[in-house]
Protein backbone atom coordinates (compact mmCIF):
# COMPACT_ATOMS: atom_id res chain seq x y z
CA UNK A 1 0.00 0.00 0.00
CA UNK A 2 1.18 3.54 -0.74
CA UNK A 3 -0.10 6.32 1.49
CA UNK A 4 0.52 9.00 -1.10
CA UNK A 5 -2.21 11.35 0.11
CA UNK A 6 -1.24 14.25 2.37
CA UNK A 7 -2.34 13.46 5.96
CA UNK A 8 -2.85 17.15 6.72
CA UNK A 9 -5.88 17.02 4.43
CA UNK A 10 -7.59 14.41 6.64
CA UNK A 11 -9.07 14.51 10.11
CA UNK A 12 -7.56 11.95 12.46
CA UNK A 13 -9.20 8.79 13.59
CA UNK A 14 -9.42 9.37 17.34
CA UNK A 15 -9.29 6.14 19.33
CA UNK A 16 -10.64 6.67 22.86
CA UNK A 17 -8.92 5.14 25.89
CA UNK A 18 -11.50 2.37 26.16
CA UNK A 19 -10.63 1.12 22.66
CA UNK A 20 -6.83 0.79 22.91
CA UNK A 21 -4.37 -0.89 25.26
CA UNK A 22 -1.83 1.90 25.87
CA UNK A 23 -1.56 2.37 29.62
CA UNK A 24 0.24 5.10 31.54
CA UNK A 25 1.81 2.29 33.57
CA UNK A 26 3.92 1.54 30.47
CA UNK A 27 5.07 5.15 30.12
CA UNK A 28 8.12 6.50 31.92
CA UNK A 29 7.23 8.59 34.97
CA UNK A 30 9.57 11.30 33.71
CA UNK A 31 7.89 11.33 30.30
CA UNK A 32 4.55 11.71 32.07
CA UNK A 33 5.95 14.67 34.06
CA UNK A 34 6.90 16.42 30.82
CA UNK A 35 3.56 15.66 29.18
CA UNK A 36 1.55 16.90 32.16
CA UNK A 37 3.56 20.11 32.58
CA UNK A 38 3.22 20.99 28.89
CA UNK A 39 -0.51 20.31 29.07
CA UNK A 40 -0.91 22.37 32.26
CA UNK A 41 0.89 25.28 30.59
CA UNK A 42 -1.70 25.28 27.80
CA UNK A 43 0.26 23.44 25.12
CA UNK A 44 -0.70 20.33 23.18
CA UNK A 45 1.34 17.36 24.40
CA UNK A 46 1.51 13.94 22.77
CA UNK A 47 3.62 10.84 23.25
CA UNK A 48 4.54 9.82 19.71
CA UNK A 49 6.56 7.30 17.73
CA UNK A 50 8.10 4.06 18.98
CA UNK A 51 6.83 4.47 22.53
CA UNK A 52 3.20 4.37 21.39
CA UNK A 53 3.87 1.63 18.82
CA UNK A 54 5.65 -0.65 21.28
CA UNK A 55 3.01 -0.10 23.97
CA UNK A 56 0.32 -1.19 21.50
CA UNK A 57 2.37 -4.31 20.73
CA UNK A 58 2.96 -5.05 24.45
CA UNK A 59 6.72 -4.69 23.94
CA UNK A 60 7.31 -2.56 27.07
CA UNK A 61 8.60 0.66 25.43
CA UNK A 62 11.94 2.12 26.45
CA UNK A 63 12.04 5.28 24.32
CA UNK A 64 9.61 8.11 25.01
CA UNK A 65 9.48 10.98 22.52
CA UNK A 66 7.09 13.88 22.90
CA UNK A 67 5.57 16.15 20.25
CA UNK A 68 4.08 19.53 21.12
CA UNK A 69 3.04 22.88 19.67
CA UNK A 70 5.42 24.60 22.11
CA UNK A 71 8.56 25.96 20.48
CA UNK A 72 11.96 24.76 21.74
CA UNK A 73 12.46 28.04 23.63
CA UNK A 74 9.03 27.70 25.25
CA UNK A 75 9.87 24.15 26.32
CA UNK A 76 13.16 25.31 27.81
CA UNK A 77 11.33 28.01 29.77
CA UNK A 78 9.21 25.31 31.46
CA UNK A 79 12.09 23.00 32.46
CA UNK A 80 15.28 24.11 34.21
CA UNK A 81 16.79 20.70 33.32
CA UNK A 82 16.36 21.27 29.57
CA UNK A 83 18.87 22.02 26.84
CA UNK A 84 18.36 22.57 23.13
CA UNK A 85 20.27 20.50 20.59
CA UNK A 86 20.38 19.90 16.85
CA UNK A 87 21.17 21.80 13.70
CA UNK A 88 19.04 19.98 11.14
CA UNK A 89 16.05 20.25 13.48
CA UNK A 90 16.04 21.92 16.91
CA UNK A 91 15.03 19.60 19.74
CA UNK A 92 14.58 20.02 23.48
CA UNK A 93 16.17 17.42 25.74
CA UNK A 94 14.75 17.30 29.26
CA UNK A 95 17.15 15.38 31.49
CA UNK A 96 16.19 13.41 34.58
CA UNK A 97 19.44 11.85 35.79
CA UNK A 98 20.43 9.32 33.13
CA UNK A 99 17.06 9.45 31.37
CA UNK A 100 16.53 12.01 28.63
CA UNK A 101 13.06 12.85 27.33
CA UNK A 102 13.16 14.30 23.81
CA UNK A 103 10.60 16.99 23.02
CA UNK A 104 10.06 18.07 19.41
CA UNK A 105 7.94 20.93 18.12
CA UNK A 106 5.40 19.98 15.45
CA UNK A 107 7.02 20.26 12.01
CA UNK A 108 5.41 21.70 8.90
CA UNK A 109 5.78 21.14 5.18
CA UNK A 110 8.24 23.70 3.82
CA UNK A 111 7.15 25.53 0.72
CA UNK A 112 7.99 29.14 1.51
CA UNK A 113 11.17 30.94 0.45
CA UNK A 114 11.91 32.23 3.94
CA UNK A 115 11.61 28.81 5.62
CA UNK A 116 14.69 27.54 7.46
CA UNK A 117 14.80 24.48 5.24
CA UNK A 118 17.67 23.28 3.04
CA UNK A 119 18.02 20.31 0.69
CA UNK A 120 21.10 19.09 -1.17
CA UNK A 121 21.27 18.33 -4.90
CA UNK A 122 19.89 14.79 -4.40
CA UNK A 123 16.87 16.11 -2.50
CA UNK A 124 18.17 15.04 0.93
CA UNK A 125 17.05 17.32 3.77
CA UNK A 126 20.06 18.88 5.52
CA UNK A 127 18.29 21.52 7.65
CA UNK A 128 14.66 21.58 8.64
CA UNK A 129 13.52 24.07 11.30
CA UNK A 130 9.99 24.68 10.03
CA UNK A 131 7.32 24.53 12.72
CA UNK A 132 3.63 23.82 12.18
CA UNK A 133 0.56 21.99 13.46
CA UNK A 134 0.02 18.37 14.42
CA UNK A 135 -1.76 17.81 11.10
CA UNK A 136 1.36 18.95 9.28
CA UNK A 137 3.69 17.09 11.63
CA UNK A 138 2.21 13.71 10.66
CA UNK A 139 3.25 14.31 7.07
CA UNK A 140 6.89 14.70 8.14
CA UNK A 141 7.14 11.36 9.98
CA UNK A 142 8.45 8.27 8.25
CA UNK A 143 6.32 5.15 8.83
CA UNK A 144 2.63 4.88 9.63
CA UNK A 145 3.35 2.72 12.69
CA UNK A 146 5.49 5.56 14.08
CA UNK A 147 2.86 8.24 13.45
CA UNK A 148 0.44 7.51 16.28
CA UNK A 149 -0.09 10.29 18.85
CA UNK A 150 -1.08 9.52 22.45
CA UNK A 151 -2.89 12.58 23.81
CA UNK A 152 -2.19 13.22 27.50
CA UNK A 153 -5.33 15.42 27.70
CA UNK A 154 -7.75 12.49 27.47
CA UNK A 155 -5.49 9.43 26.89
CA UNK A 156 -6.82 8.92 23.35
CA UNK A 157 -4.71 7.97 20.31
CA UNK A 158 -4.83 10.16 17.21
CA UNK A 159 -4.23 8.24 13.97
CA UNK A 160 -3.89 10.30 10.79
CA UNK A 161 -2.07 7.85 8.49
CA UNK A 162 -3.61 4.43 9.19
CA UNK A 163 -0.87 3.41 11.59
CA UNK A 164 -3.17 1.39 13.83
CA UNK A 165 -4.39 -0.62 10.82
CA UNK A 166 -0.82 -1.28 9.63
CA UNK A 167 0.23 -2.41 13.12
CA UNK A 168 -2.69 -4.83 13.15
CA UNK A 169 -1.61 -6.10 9.70
CA UNK A 170 2.05 -6.15 10.86
CA UNK A 171 3.58 -4.22 8.00
CA UNK A 172 6.02 -1.35 7.55
CA UNK A 173 4.44 1.33 5.37
CA UNK A 174 6.13 4.61 4.45
CA UNK A 175 3.93 7.72 4.64
CA UNK A 176 3.65 9.45 1.28
CA UNK A 177 5.37 8.59 -2.01
CA UNK A 178 8.12 6.07 -1.12
CA UNK A 179 10.62 7.26 -3.72
CA UNK A 180 10.26 10.90 -2.69
CA UNK A 181 10.51 10.10 1.01
CA UNK A 182 13.64 7.97 0.52
CA UNK A 183 15.25 10.77 -1.45
CA UNK A 184 14.53 13.15 1.42
CA UNK A 185 16.36 10.80 3.78
CA UNK A 186 17.94 7.59 2.41
CA UNK A 187 18.50 6.29 5.96
CA UNK A 188 14.79 5.46 5.95
CA UNK A 189 15.74 2.36 3.96
CA UNK A 190 17.80 1.12 6.90
CA UNK A 191 15.14 2.14 9.40
CA UNK A 192 12.52 0.15 7.48
CA UNK A 193 14.70 -2.96 7.73
CA UNK A 194 15.45 -2.34 11.41
CA UNK A 195 11.81 -2.01 12.36
CA UNK A 196 10.82 -5.01 10.24
CA UNK A 197 13.45 -7.12 12.02
CA UNK A 198 12.56 -5.88 15.50
CA UNK A 199 8.78 -6.13 15.12
CA UNK A 200 8.55 -9.14 12.83
CA UNK A 201 6.68 -7.01 10.28
CA UNK A 202 6.72 -7.32 6.50
CA UNK A 203 7.82 -4.39 4.33
CA UNK A 204 5.15 -2.86 2.10
CA UNK A 205 5.69 -3.84 -1.59
CA UNK A 206 5.72 -0.19 -2.71
CA UNK A 207 8.50 0.51 -0.23
CA UNK A 208 10.41 -2.60 -1.33
CA UNK A 209 10.32 -1.36 -4.92
CA UNK A 210 11.54 2.10 -3.93
CA UNK A 211 14.43 0.62 -1.93
CA UNK A 212 15.52 -1.33 -5.01
CA UNK A 213 15.51 1.86 -7.07
CA UNK A 214 17.21 4.11 -4.51
CA UNK A 215 19.98 1.91 -3.06
CA UNK A 216 22.77 4.16 -4.30
CA UNK A 217 21.39 7.15 -2.41
CA UNK A 218 23.06 5.78 0.74
CA UNK A 219 26.36 7.06 -0.69
CA UNK A 220 25.17 10.61 0.01
CA UNK A 221 24.57 9.92 3.72
CA UNK A 222 27.36 11.18 6.03
CA UNK A 223 29.57 8.30 7.15
CA UNK A 224 29.24 9.33 10.81
CA UNK A 225 25.47 8.99 10.63
CA UNK A 226 25.77 5.54 9.08
CA UNK A 227 27.92 4.44 12.01
CA UNK A 228 25.10 5.43 14.35
CA UNK A 229 22.70 3.40 12.20
CA UNK A 230 25.12 0.45 12.27
CA UNK A 231 24.91 0.42 16.08
CA UNK A 232 21.10 0.49 15.98
CA UNK A 233 20.95 -2.24 13.33
CA UNK A 234 23.28 -4.72 15.01
CA UNK A 235 23.21 -4.02 18.75
CA UNK A 236 19.48 -4.00 19.46
CA UNK A 237 19.02 -7.76 19.83
CA UNK A 238 17.84 -8.51 16.29
CA UNK A 239 21.17 -8.60 14.47
CA UNK A 240 20.71 -11.90 12.63
CA UNK A 241 17.26 -11.03 11.28
CA UNK A 242 18.47 -7.55 10.36
CA UNK A 243 21.43 -9.06 8.51
CA UNK A 244 19.11 -11.32 6.49
CA UNK A 245 16.87 -8.41 5.50
CA UNK A 246 19.80 -6.15 4.62
CA UNK A 247 21.12 -8.83 2.30
CA UNK A 248 17.67 -9.55 0.87
CA UNK A 249 17.24 -5.91 -0.15
CA UNK A 250 20.88 -5.49 -1.30
CA UNK A 251 21.55 -2.92 1.41
CA UNK A 252 24.34 -4.77 3.20
CA UNK A 253 26.69 -4.35 0.24
CA UNK A 254 26.18 -0.59 0.37
CA UNK A 255 27.39 -0.60 3.97
CA UNK A 256 30.16 -3.25 3.82
CA UNK A 257 31.16 -3.82 0.18
CA UNK A 258 34.28 -5.94 0.90
CA UNK A 259 32.34 -8.12 3.34
CA UNK A 260 29.42 -8.57 0.94
CA UNK A 261 31.76 -9.86 -1.77
CA UNK A 262 33.26 -12.46 0.57
CA UNK A 263 29.82 -13.52 1.78
CA UNK A 264 28.79 -14.27 -1.80
CA UNK A 265 31.86 -16.45 -2.38
CA UNK A 266 32.66 -18.10 0.97
CA UNK A 267 30.09 -20.35 2.71
CA UNK A 268 32.34 -20.83 5.75
CA UNK A 269 32.56 -17.07 6.21
CA UNK A 270 28.77 -16.81 6.05
CA UNK A 271 28.53 -19.45 8.81
CA UNK A 272 31.00 -17.53 10.95
CA UNK A 273 29.20 -14.19 10.50
CA UNK A 274 25.85 -15.76 11.29
CA UNK A 275 27.27 -17.39 14.46
CA UNK A 276 28.64 -14.00 15.56
CA UNK A 277 25.27 -12.32 14.98
CA UNK A 278 23.48 -15.01 16.98
CA UNK A 279 26.02 -14.60 19.75
CA UNK A 280 25.45 -10.82 19.77
CA UNK A 281 21.67 -11.29 19.99
CA UNK A 282 22.14 -13.78 22.82
CA UNK A 283 24.30 -11.34 24.80
CA UNK A 284 21.82 -8.50 24.32
CA UNK A 285 18.99 -10.75 25.52
CA UNK A 286 21.03 -11.57 28.64
CA UNK A 287 21.83 -7.87 29.26
CA UNK A 288 25.53 -8.53 28.69
CA UNK A 289 27.80 -5.93 27.15
CA UNK A 290 28.44 -5.87 23.41
CA UNK A 291 30.99 -3.81 21.51
CA UNK A 292 30.88 -2.80 17.84
CA UNK A 293 34.61 -3.57 17.71
CA UNK A 294 33.94 -7.30 17.83
CA UNK A 295 31.34 -7.41 15.07
CA UNK A 296 33.37 -5.07 12.88
CA UNK A 297 36.25 -7.53 13.24
CA UNK A 298 33.94 -10.39 12.27
CA UNK A 299 32.76 -8.55 9.15
CA UNK A 300 36.33 -7.78 8.06
CA UNK A 301 37.82 -11.19 8.95
CA UNK A 302 37.60 -12.89 5.55
CA UNK A 303 38.63 -9.77 3.57
CA UNK A 304 41.54 -9.26 5.98
CA UNK A 305 42.75 -12.86 5.62
CA UNK A 306 42.66 -12.58 1.84
CA UNK A 307 44.52 -9.26 1.81
CA UNK A 308 47.04 -10.49 4.39
CA UNK A 309 47.86 -13.56 2.27
CA UNK A 310 48.48 -11.35 -0.75
CA UNK A 311 50.68 -9.04 1.31
CA UNK A 312 52.80 -11.93 2.62
CA UNK A 313 53.42 -13.12 -0.93
CA UNK A 314 54.89 -9.73 -1.85
CA UNK A 315 56.69 -8.79 1.34
CA UNK A 316 58.42 -10.68 4.10
CA UNK A 317 56.39 -10.21 7.26
CA UNK A 318 54.79 -12.38 9.91
CA UNK A 319 51.16 -13.44 9.69
CA UNK A 320 50.15 -11.23 12.66
CA UNK A 321 51.84 -8.24 11.03
CA UNK A 322 50.13 -8.93 7.72
CA UNK A 323 46.72 -9.27 9.41
CA UNK A 324 47.19 -6.03 11.31
CA UNK A 325 48.18 -4.19 8.13
CA UNK A 326 45.26 -5.69 6.19
CA UNK A 327 42.79 -4.70 8.92
CA UNK A 328 44.22 -1.17 8.86
CA UNK A 329 43.82 -0.86 5.08
CA UNK A 330 40.30 -2.30 5.12
CA UNK A 331 39.28 0.03 7.96
CA UNK A 332 40.52 2.97 5.90
CA UNK A 333 38.49 1.80 2.91
CA UNK A 334 35.43 1.24 5.11
CA UNK A 335 35.60 4.83 6.36
CA UNK A 336 34.21 5.94 3.01
CA UNK A 337 30.94 4.19 3.87
CA UNK A 338 30.79 4.07 7.66
CA UNK A 339 32.90 6.25 9.94
CA UNK A 340 34.72 3.88 12.30
CA UNK A 341 36.11 5.63 15.41
CA UNK A 342 39.71 4.83 16.30
CA UNK A 343 38.62 3.57 19.71
CA UNK A 344 37.12 0.62 17.82
CA UNK A 345 39.45 0.16 14.83
CA UNK A 346 42.67 -0.01 16.86
CA UNK A 347 41.53 -2.80 19.23
CA UNK A 348 39.89 -4.57 16.27
CA UNK A 349 43.22 -4.69 14.42
CA UNK A 350 44.94 -6.06 17.52
CA UNK A 351 42.21 -8.68 17.99
CA UNK A 352 42.61 -9.95 14.43
CA UNK A 353 46.40 -9.85 14.54
CA UNK A 354 46.43 -12.09 17.64
CA UNK A 355 44.54 -14.94 15.97
CA UNK A 356 47.64 -16.79 14.57
CA UNK A 357 49.25 -16.79 18.01
CA UNK A 358 46.58 -19.14 19.38
CA UNK A 359 48.06 -21.99 17.36
CA UNK A 360 51.19 -21.92 19.55
CA UNK A 361 50.60 -23.55 22.95
CA UNK A 362 54.11 -24.01 24.36
CA UNK A 363 56.81 -21.66 25.55
CA UNK A 364 57.00 -18.34 27.33
CA UNK A 365 55.77 -16.33 24.35
CA UNK A 366 52.60 -18.40 24.16
CA UNK A 367 52.02 -17.97 27.89
CA UNK A 368 52.50 -14.19 27.64
CA UNK A 369 49.53 -14.04 25.27
CA UNK A 370 47.30 -14.39 28.35
CA UNK A 371 48.54 -11.00 29.56
CA UNK A 372 47.85 -9.16 26.30
CA UNK A 373 45.33 -6.34 26.73
CA UNK A 374 43.22 -7.71 23.85
CA UNK A 375 43.44 -11.33 24.93
CA UNK A 376 39.81 -11.66 26.04
CA UNK A 377 38.35 -10.25 22.83
CA UNK A 378 40.78 -12.27 20.71
CA UNK A 379 39.97 -15.42 22.71
CA UNK A 380 36.21 -14.92 22.21
CA UNK A 381 36.83 -14.44 18.49
CA UNK A 382 38.91 -17.63 18.30
CA UNK A 383 36.33 -19.58 20.33
CA UNK A 384 33.65 -18.50 17.87
CA UNK A 385 35.78 -19.75 14.99
CA UNK A 386 36.16 -23.07 16.80
CA UNK A 387 32.40 -23.23 17.39
CA UNK A 388 31.78 -23.23 13.62
CA UNK A 389 34.63 -25.66 12.91
CA UNK A 390 37.11 -23.10 11.60
CA UNK A 391 39.68 -23.48 14.38
CA UNK A 392 40.99 -26.61 16.10
CA UNK A 393 38.64 -27.56 18.93
CA UNK A 394 41.31 -29.13 21.17
CA UNK A 395 43.49 -26.04 20.91
CA UNK A 396 40.53 -23.84 21.77
CA UNK A 397 39.81 -26.02 24.80
CA UNK A 398 43.44 -25.64 25.88
CA UNK A 399 43.11 -21.85 25.94
CA UNK A 400 39.84 -22.13 27.84
CA UNK A 401 41.48 -24.33 30.48
CA UNK A 402 44.67 -22.39 31.09
CA UNK A 403 42.80 -19.18 31.92
CA UNK A 404 41.60 -20.74 35.18
CA UNK A 405 44.87 -22.34 36.24
CA UNK A 406 47.27 -21.30 38.96
CA UNK A 407 50.66 -19.89 37.91
CA UNK A 408 52.39 -23.24 38.58
CA UNK A 409 49.74 -25.21 36.66
CA UNK A 410 49.92 -22.70 33.82
CA UNK A 411 53.70 -23.01 33.58
CA UNK A 412 53.34 -26.78 33.38
CA UNK A 413 50.65 -26.51 30.67
CA UNK A 414 52.87 -24.28 28.54
CA UNK A 415 55.87 -26.48 29.33
CA UNK A 416 57.77 -23.55 30.75
CA UNK A 417 60.52 -24.48 33.23
CA UNK A 418 60.08 -22.58 36.47
CA UNK A 419 62.92 -20.21 37.21
CA UNK A 420 64.75 -20.50 40.55
CA UNK A 421 67.38 -18.32 42.12
CA UNK A 422 70.01 -20.95 41.44
CA UNK A 423 69.12 -21.09 37.77
CA UNK A 424 69.93 -17.45 37.21
CA UNK A 425 73.26 -16.86 35.69
CA UNK A 426 75.40 -14.48 37.53
CA UNK A 427 77.12 -11.81 35.59
CA UNK A 428 80.81 -12.43 35.32
CA UNK A 429 82.76 -9.44 36.40
CA UNK A 430 85.52 -8.49 34.06
CA UNK A 431 88.82 -8.17 35.86
CA UNK A 432 90.43 -4.87 35.33
CA UNK A 433 94.00 -5.15 34.23
CA UNK A 434 96.46 -3.53 36.60
CA UNK A 435 98.03 -0.38 35.26
CA UNK A 436 101.41 -1.11 33.77
CA UNK A 437 104.31 0.89 35.17
CA UNK A 438 105.77 3.34 32.73
CA UNK A 439 109.53 3.73 32.35
CA UNK A 440 110.68 7.16 33.08
Catalytic residue annotation: 63, 65, 142
Distance of alpha carbon 251 from alpha carbon 192, whole angstroms: 11
Helix axes 342-353, 319-334, angle to 10 degrees: 150
Distance of alpha carbon 94 from alpha carbon 78, whole angstroms: 10
Long-range CB contacts (within 8 A, 24+) of 198-202: 198/236, 198/237, 198/238, 199/53, 199/57, 199/145, 199/170, 199/172, 200/170, 201/145, 201/170, 201/171, 201/172, 202/170, 202/171, 202/172
Contacts of 165 (CB under 8 A, 6+ apart): 144
3-state helix, strand, coil in the chain (%, to 5): 55, 10, 35
Is residue 61 a contact partner of residue 27, using CB atoms and an 8 Å limit?
Answer: yes
Is residue 303 a contact partner of residue 258, using CB atoms and an 8 Å limit?
Answer: yes
Is residue 297 a contact partner of residue 323, using CB atoms and an 8 Å limit?
Answer: no
Contacts of 87 (CB under 8 A, 6+ apart): 127
Contacts of 433 (CB under 8 A, 6+ apart): none
Q: In 86-214, which residue ranges form alpha helices assigned H by DSSP? A: 134-140, 163-168, 178-184, 188-199, 205-214
- CA 106 from chain centre, in angstroms, equals 28
Rounded (10°) CA dihedral 32, 38, 43, 47: -30
Distance of alpha carbon 105 from alpha carbon 197, whole angstroms: 29
Rg, Å, the chain Cα set: 29
Distance of alpha carbon 436 from alpha carbon 440, whole angstroms: 12
Say if strands 65-68 and 99-105 run parallel, antiparallel, or are unpaired.
Answer: parallel
Is residue 79 a contact partner of residue 102, using CB atoms and an 8 Å limit?
Answer: no
Amino acid sequence: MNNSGNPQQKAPRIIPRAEHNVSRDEISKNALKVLYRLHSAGYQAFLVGGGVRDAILDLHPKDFDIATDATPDEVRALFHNCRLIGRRFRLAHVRFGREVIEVATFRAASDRDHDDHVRDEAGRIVRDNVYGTIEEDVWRRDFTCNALYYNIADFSIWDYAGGMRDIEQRRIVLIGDPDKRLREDPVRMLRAVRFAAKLGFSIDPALQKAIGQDLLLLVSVPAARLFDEFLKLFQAGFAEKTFDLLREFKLFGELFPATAQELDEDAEFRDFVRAALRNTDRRVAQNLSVTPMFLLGVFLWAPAKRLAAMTREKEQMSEPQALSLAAYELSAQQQRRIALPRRFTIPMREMLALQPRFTQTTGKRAMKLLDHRRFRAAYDFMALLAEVGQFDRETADFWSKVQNQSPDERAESFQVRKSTQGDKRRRRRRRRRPNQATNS
